[in-house]
């Protein structure tokens, strides 16, 4: 009986950990898409205003890559800083 309770507890901890990883991954993915779409629309708008068709779009899309990486690292660092270790039972 005790082994079953410990096994269920481990499954619950693993499930919670997996859900945390899924949440962080989805947040990073959503922010990546938002940043790329903003860069694309901003570049198209600037190209339309200044009549420089591909220049601003390409520049903003290229610039969005390091911005996306920094945002993803920030999200992951913030999420992992909130993870607390589970104390081991001494029994």
Q: Give pLDDT tens digits for 20-57.
A: 888 888 999 999 999 999 999 999 999 999 999 999 99
pLDDT band of 81, cuts 50, 70, 90: confident
pLDDT at 19 over 70: yes
User: pTM for the complete prediction?
Assistant: 0.79
Question: Would you kindly state where each structural domain of the chain is located, as residue ranges?
Answer: 25-81
Contact 59, 11 (CB under 8 A): no
pLDDT band of 2, cuts 50, 70, 90: low
Alpha helices in the chain (DSSP H): 2-50, 55-81
Separation CA 79–CA 23 (nearest Å): 9
Cβ partners under 8 Å of residue 23, min gap 6: 79
pLDDT, position 30: 94
């Amino acid at each position: 009986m005790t082994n079953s309770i410990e096994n269920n507890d481990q499954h619950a901890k693993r499930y919670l950990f997996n859900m945390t990883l899924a949440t962080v991954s989805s947040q990073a993915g959503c922010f990546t898409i938002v940043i790329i779409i903003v860069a694309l629309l901003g570049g198209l708008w600037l190209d339309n205003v200044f009549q420089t068709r591909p220049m601003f779009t390409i520049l903003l899309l290229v610039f969005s890559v390091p911005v996306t990486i920094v945002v993803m690292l920030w999200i992951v660092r913030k999420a992992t800083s909130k993870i607390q270790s589970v104390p081991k039972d001494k029994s």
